[in-house]
Amino acid sequence: MWGRGRGLAAPAPSPAGVHDTVETLAALFQYLISGLTNGAIYALIALGFGIIFNATHIINFAQGEFVMLGALMAISLYQAVPWLPAAFVGATLAVTLLGLVFERLALRPVRDRSPLTLIIITVGGAVLLKGLAMLWWGKEAYNLPPFSGAQPLHLGPATLLPQNLWVLGVAALLLAGLEAFFRLTLTGKAMRACAYNPVAARLVGIPAARMVQLSFALSAALGAAGGILIAPLTLGVYDMGTMLGLKGFSAAILGGLGSSLGGVLGGLLLGVAESLASGLISSGYRDAVAFFILLVVLFVRPQGLLGGKP
Amino acid sequence: MNGRLASLVLAALVLAGPAWAQNPPEPYVIGGIFSITGPASYLGEPERNTLQMLVSEYNAKGGIKGRPLKVVIYDDEGDVTKARLHAEKLIQKDKALAIIGPSLTHTSMAVLPITQKARVPLISCAAGIEITHPAAERQWVFKTAQTDAMAVNRIYQYLKKHNLSQVAILTVSTGFGVSGRKQLTEQAPQFGIKVVADEVFGEKDTDMTPQLTKIRNTPAQAVICWGTGPAPAIVAKNLKQLGMKIPLIQSHGAASKKFIELAGDAGEGILLPAGKLVIYPSLPDADPQKAVLARYDEAYRRAFNAPASSFGGYAYDAMKILAQALEQAGPDPDKLRAAIENTKNYVGVSGVFNMSPEDHNGLSPEAFVMVKIDKGEFKLAE
């Protein structure tokens, strides 16, 4: 009887235990989806940092503002012409142009100065762009409708919005396209040559100044695309760029500044780490996680996960 | 010779002029300190507009007790130091009879020691309960905005009526959210409500799915979100994203058209406590506030070509209460203060005010109504 009684009693707690485990797994899966979505945006920004760093050896701290401008311009364009593809392309082109203008007006006149001077100039540029955006759009937040519907999809125990898939999908496409551009086209190869050895590249006739311009255009376009993708989830507001820029910078450092694969890896890892930290520890630590990781990487492995020599 | 005599006579006439010409009565000076620019400009701007509008209305009708009103308004930009300087200036230089404002809780707290010492009535437009509490120590300080304790009370009344006894709270980490969180946790037991999840988010956070995922795993029957700006709209979107079907209740901080616009589809069905201004056309005619609200909204639209906001309403009530007291008691500071403290059954924009020596706000939770977002509009929920 004893044995039998125990035999019956023993399984009793287990369904609850199984249930708990399922719930915990479901929650983990949900954190993973949130983390990957944010991480994809960080990856796009991190790549923008990397491209400009490779071409010029400076950190462009206005990168986050390109994200903000992408989001707000797409919102304004959408209000004028309510057709999302047009808003997406129009805003990306506009911000690309702005990236070129920024390089021409703010950086080219002083391009032979030390990287430090140039980095400070980009900080100034970021403040200026943010201020202009505040004057133009005001301090209010704006909404961009999701690309395709707002009905949540069920993916096993977790749910996600079609917009999450758009973010992940378009980001993956952009990354693949960028990699193909660098590996397969002559211009892309020329840009890489400039990154490896600017002097040698110039000697074989690669127009280095043009490559710098192109790098600004590319990173502005990437940033803008990131901003437009995330706007339906997070709303667009004039001061959204600063934090996103810093997160993207942390992601770039984590992955290894200048390495494309590193940027992607860094972005995704950072996004997931943030999401897990706010879910499992406390939401107050969300932003701290990014900067804690940044500090640890700088102390322990300054070249980043996939970076070359420090 | 003649010319000189004429000019002397003229000079004498000019000098003596004021003595026998109809002496224009000294105006009553009313001071205003609002956050007209800076991050809280959404409060200060309608408050300034409303105060100016009311003062010109009074002057058009011949002022109060035959004396015109003169209003001096300063902008504190949401800055404590500027607010204090402006208060000193209003008292010392402008000789203000009373001061309306400031717009924010922390600026009001900074100004009130000055006005208390100078024995000048201050009618604050900020929400913080600590501004007038305890009233015995804050003899010269009054306020017209509803407190968050009333909003919480109203929400819990609603939940109790609908038999929802387990709630999850999700509050912003700013002063507004911290105060809301305190009220939500403290008042819950009185209504038999249990807070089963207590999560926090940052003012600028853009993804609250982790917090809501945690809430999803609790037996919560409703989520109460306490925040201002875009974050509450993101909470609404995230809740929808997670496919959560339990009701979402926002604070009065989300009671604006902007919130409906930002939340989009995700806003449908959200409940929140709001001042009656946002839904006044659907109030029953028996509601005493309906006429006041309609009059204020129409006058504001005429003057500024924009709909009136409940924030402007705080200045509206402050000026009306002050004018009523001035009418009764005249400019003597002690009598004026006593008359404000004795305000009874004043039907205003933010509610019906019944002040007393113990209560320098005079509103009850009934100043709020529960509204529901239905097809992009606020509708009465009950």
Q: Which residues is B195 bridged to in the sheet?
A: B167
Is the pLDDT score of B9 beyond 80?
Answer: no
Q: What is the mean pLDDT of chain B?
A: 90
Question: What average pLDDT score do residues B244-261 get?
Answer: 90
The answer to whether B147 and B129 are in contact (CB under 8 A) is yes
- B192: closest CA of chain A, how far (Å): 27
Q: For B295, how many CA atoms within 13 A lie in the half-sphere containing its CB?
A: 13
Instruction: Please answer yes or no on whether B262 and A34 come within 8 Å at the CB atom.
Output: no
- pLDDT at residue number B163: 94
- pLDDT at residue number B7: 62
Is the pLDDT score of B150 beyond 90?
Answer: yes
At A310, the pLDDT band (50, 70, 90 cuts) reads very low
Question: For the segment A28-77, what is each residue's pLDDT rounded down to a tens digit?
Answer: 888 999 899 999 999 999 999 999 998 888 899 999 999 999 999 999 99
The answer to whether B207 and B234 are in contact (CB under 8 A) is yes
* Best-predicted range by mean pLDDT (A253-257, B12-16, B340-344): B340-344
Instruction: Please answer yes or no on whether B229 and A141 come within 8 Å at the CB atom.
Output: yes
DSSP character for B254?
Answer: G
Nearest to B91 by CA among B63, B69, B111: B111
Instruction: State which residue of chain A sits closest to B238, comparing Cα positions.
Output: A233
Task: Pick B240's closest partner by Cβ from A26, A152, A279.
Answer: A152
Is the pLDDT score of A90 beyond 80?
Answer: yes
- pLDDT at residue number A111: 61
Contacts made by residues A21-25, CB under 8 angstroms, sequence distance 24+: A22/A157, A23/B217, A25/A157
The answer to whether A167 and A225 are in contact (CB under 8 A) is no
Judging by DSSP bridges, how do beta strands B28-34 and A158-160 pair with one another?
unpaired
Is the pLDDT score of B131 beyond 70?
Answer: yes
- pLDDT at residue number A8: 40
Question: What average pLDDT score do residues B356-377 get?
Answer: 93
Question: For the segment B161-199, what is each residue's pLDDT rounded down to a tens digit?
Answer: 999 999 999 999 877 888 899 999 999 999 999 999 999
Residue of A88 and B254 predicted with greater confidence = A88
Region of poorest pLDDT, from A199-208, B66-75, B150-159, B315-324? A199-208
Domains, chain B, ordered by start = 28-147+290-365 (3.40.50.2300), 149-280+368-380 (3.40.50.2300)
User: 3-state class of B219 per DSSP?
Assistant: coil
Instruction: Please answer yes or no on whether A235 and B214 come within 8 Å at the CB atom.
Output: no
Question: What average pLDDT score do residues B41-50 get?
Answer: 91
What percent of chain A lies above the pLDDT cut of 70?
Answer: 92
Sign of the Cα torsion A216, A92, A163, B372 reads positive
Task: Pick A30's closest partner by Cβ from B199, B213, B258.
Answer: B213
Q: What is the mean pLDDT of chain A?
A: 87
Cα A278 to Cα A27, A75, A87, A297: the distances in Å are: 12, 29, 33, 21
Task: Pick B265's closest partner by Cβ from A23, A150, A235.
Answer: A150
Region of poorest pLDDT, from A104-108, A157-161, B53-57? A157-161
- B35: closest CA of chain A, how far (Å): 15
Question: What average pLDDT score do residues B83-88 get?
Answer: 96
Instruction: Please answer yes or no on whether B242 and A30 come within 8 Å at the CB atom.
Output: yes
- pLDDT at residue number B38: 76
B263: chain A residues, CB-CB within 8 Å: 143
- pLDDT at residue number B133: 85
Is the pLDDT score of B76 beyond 90?
Answer: yes
Q: What is the ipTM of this complex?
A: 0.78
- A115: closest CA of chain B, how far (Å): 32
- pLDDT at residue number B18: 47
Residue of A20 and B6 predicted with greater confidence = A20
Task: Pick B234's closest partner by Cβ from A26, A234, A282.
Answer: A234
- pLDDT at residue number A194: 87
Question: For the segment B133-145, what is each residue's pLDDT rounded down to a tens digit?
Answer: 888 899 999 999 9
Is the pLDDT score of B108 beyond 70?
Answer: yes
Is the pLDDT score of B261 beyond 70?
Answer: yes
Question: What average pLDDT score do residues B42-67 get?
Answer: 93
Instruction: Please answer yes or no on whether A286 and B262 come within 8 Å at the CB atom.
Output: no
A239: chain B residues, CB-CB within 8 Å: 204
Task: Pick B200's closest partner by Cβ from A140, A154, A284.
Answer: A284
What percent of chain B lies above the pLDDT cut of 90?
Answer: 72
At B234, the pLDDT band (50, 70, 90 cuts) reads very high
- pLDDT at residue number B277: 93
Instruction: State which residue of chain A sits closest to B231, comparing Cα positions.
Output: A234
Give the span between the Cα atoms of A223 and A42, in whole angstroms: 9
Is the pLDDT score of B4 beyond 70?
Answer: no
Q: How far is CA A226 from the centre of its chain?
A: 6
Residue of A24 and A205 predicted with greater confidence = A205
Instruction: Please answer yes or no on whether A234 and B266 come within 8 Å at the CB atom.
Output: no
Is the pLDDT score of B382 beyond 80?
Answer: no
How would you class B107 by CB atoms within 10 Å of its CB: exposed for 0-12, middle for 13-18, buried for 19 or more? buried
At A155, the pLDDT band (50, 70, 90 cuts) reads confident
B39: chain A residues, CB-CB within 8 Å: 139
- A152: closest CA of chain B, how far (Å): 5
Is the pLDDT score of A139 beyond 90?
Answer: no
Chain A interface test: which of B171, B213, B261 (most A C-beta within 10 Å): B213
Is the pLDDT score of B355 beyond 50?
Answer: yes
B208: chain A residues, CB-CB within 8 Å: 283
Question: What average pLDDT score do residues B207-235 get?
Answer: 92
- A309: closest CA of chain B, how far (Å): 36
- pLDDT at residue number B202: 85
Instruction: Please answer yes or no on whether B264 and A31 come within 8 Å at the CB atom.
Output: no
The answer to whether B261 and A79 are in contact (CB under 8 A) is no
Instruction: Please answer yes or no on whether A235 and B230 come within 8 Å at the CB atom.
Output: yes
Is the pLDDT score of A176 beyond 90?
Answer: yes
- A274: closest CA of chain B, how far (Å): 10
At A182, the pLDDT band (50, 70, 90 cuts) reads very high
Question: What average pLDDT score do residues B238-243 get?
Answer: 90
- B311: closest CA of chain A, how far (Å): 17
Is the pLDDT score of A285 beyond 50?
Answer: yes
